[in-house]
Amino acid sequence: MFTGLVETKGQVEKVILSDMGAKILFSADFLDAKEIKVGDSIALNGVCLSVISINLPYFEADIMKETLNLTNLAFLKKGDEINLERAMKINSRLDGHIVSGHIDTSAKIKSIENDGFSKKIKILCNTDLIIYKGSIAINGVSLTVSKVEYDFFEVSLIPETIENTNLKNLKIGDIVNIEYDIFAKYIKKFISKNEKKEITLEFLKENGF
């Protein structure tokens, strides 16, 4: 699990694509990188990957075909900037929101607009699981939804986010990774599973209410 608060930005050193999937080599300047070990989870642009080798400051991870098909990792190339976050610690504050690192879809940037010291970004996407003022992760960054329509949503980036993530490099037409709020997904499944059932006191008790 992650929080969507990017720890540091890294750089892609090499991507090796094959019919079997891909390997990615990237460098990162984690302050306590010596605590990272093979097998640890790292969210790369919001995608949960497992570290398979370490030669500080370089890290390597495998990317399976399903991940390449679903995310923007297939488009990464040497020199690209990436958002990185290690798995959250249970004993620390949960800022941001709960992010699993399991990308739901990728989406296209429709527009980018300056709004005072912030930037408004409009993203073309299915919005069934998105609500106004709800949480969403874009390239692994926890953000608050500022506007929702049937085929797009909008977020605003504060200077801190712009400066410390790769979202500042976004251009119109770029593809980003989207992870919907995990609670929205559970609620949708619960409703679809029980939409024909009558809501009674017994039904609510059986489902933990």
pLDDT greater than 90 at residue 101: yes
Per-residue model confidence (pLDDT) at position 163: 93
Residue 132 has pLDDT above 80, yes or no: yes
- Beta bridge partners, 115, equal 118
Amino acid found at 125: C
**Stretch 139-167: mean pLDDT:** 95
Query: Is the confidence at residue 203, as pLDDT, over 70?
Result: no
Q: Tell me how far apart the alpha carbons of residues 155 and 125 are, in angstroms, rounded to a whole number.
A: 13
Domain layout of the chain by residue ranges: 8-86, 105-188
Across all residues in the chain, what is the average pLDDT? Answer: 91
Helix (H, G, I), strand (E, B) or coil at 168: helix
% pLDDT > 70, the chain: 94
Q: Are 99 and 83 a contacting pair, CB within 8 Å?
A: no
Query: Which own/partner pairs from 62-68 qualify as long-range (CB within 8 Å, at least 24 positions apart)?
Result: 62/21, 62/22, 62/23, 63/21, 63/22, 63/23, 63/24, 64/21, 65/20, 65/21, 67/21, 67/103, 68/17, 68/21, 68/22
The CATH-assigned architecture of domain 8-86 is: Beta Barrel (2.40)
State the architecture of 105-188 in CATH terms: Beta Barrel (2.40)
pLDDT tens digits, 5-61 = 999 999 999 999 998 999 999 999 886 777 889 999 999 999 999 999 999 999 999
